[in-house]
Structure 1
Amino acid sequence: MTPTDNTTPLQGVILLGHGSRDPLWRAPLEAVLARIQQTQPQLPCCCAYLELTAPSFAEAADQLIAQGVRQLRVTPMFLGTGKHAREDIPRLVADLRARHPDVTVEVQDSVGEDARVTALLARIATERP
């Protein structure tokens, strides 16, 4: 699909993490990305980071938008809803909306707030491998 098509807007996903100087820190987030790419290869998806790691949220969003994405889902890959989720992400999304008013942006709750994730974490904590 090209940005000029008059069909359903292309959807995309940003997996948004905190970031770290340690490159090994990114491995779990990139594993989620790889799983999405494997199971939904038609879905534009990428990782982005709030700090210390590239690409930034703005860079990742611009990259997806350049591919024709017009509906963007932001998935904060945090266990809880702290300052980043309450303050930083809404500010970044407001900046994105100002720069790209033709793009719809949906921000999900932090993944750790999802009952499916907390149930899985409880299982992992209590079951033997």
Structure 2
Amino acid sequence: MSDAASQDSAAVVLFGHGARDPEWAGPMRRIRACMLAQPGAPRVELAFLEFMQPRLPEAIAALAATGVRRIAVVPIFLAQNGHLKRDLPALLDEARAAHPACEISLAVAAGEADTVIAAMAGYARACVG
């Protein structure tokens, strides 16, 4: 399989809680845009637990319908909270059952990643000059 075909069959879903204010998703849209600006970027979509669209099951179904076979769900949360421990595993079990041809993986919350922690520490340090 060529690199282009491999990329076409893979996607990242940036998963957020969602909010009533649509501006809340601005940072997630910026993360998506930053990813897509990189050479060889995979397909990147947003999905939400509640309040905003698309919800995660719909986002995964849409990707699967276009032939995507590898989906990495990346929670854009600061920590592994109750939603990530209870709600998300149930949603992923349902999605895996509905789309058995897809390999759906789950990353840890973005805020738990060492590189993200280091970036936030650097930002906080820079706030005092």
TM-score when scaled to structure 1? 0.89
Matched residue, 1:17: 16
Is 1:102 the counterpart of 2:101 in the alignment? yes
Count of residue correspondences: 124
Q: Which amino acid aligns with 1:23?
A: P
Q: Which amino acid aligns with 1:83?
A: G
- Which whole-Å CA distance do the structure 2 matches of 1:55 and 1:22 have between them? 15
Matched residue, 2:66: 67
3-state SS in 1 of match to 2:69: strand
Check the 8 A contact 1:16/1:49 in 2, yes or no.
yes
Shift of 1:41: 6.0
Matched residue, 1:50: 49
Shift of 1:44: 1.5
Over the residues paired in the alignment, what is the CA RMSD in angstroms?
Answer: 1.8
- Which whole-Å CA distance do the structure 2 matches of 1:43 and 1:95 have between them? 24
Task: Quickly say closer, same or farther: Cα 1:65–1:91, change in 2 above 3 A.
Answer: same
Matched residue, 1:4: none
Check the 8 A contact 1:44/1:64 in 2, yes or no.
no
Matched residue, 1:28: 27
Q: Show CA shifts across 1:2-31 (max 9, x none).
A: xxxxx7581111000000001110000010
Q: Which amino acid aligns with 2:63?
A: L
TM-score when scaled to structure 2? 0.89
Q: Which amino acid aligns with 1:25?
A: W
Shift of 1:126: 1.2
Q: Which amino acid aligns with 1:26?
A: A
Check the 8 A contact 2:35/2:41 in 1, yes or no.
no
Could you list the runs of 4 or more consecutive aligned residues of structure 1 that deviate by over 3 angstroms after TM superposition?
Answer: none
* Unpaired stretches in structure 1, ≥5 consecutive residues: 2-6
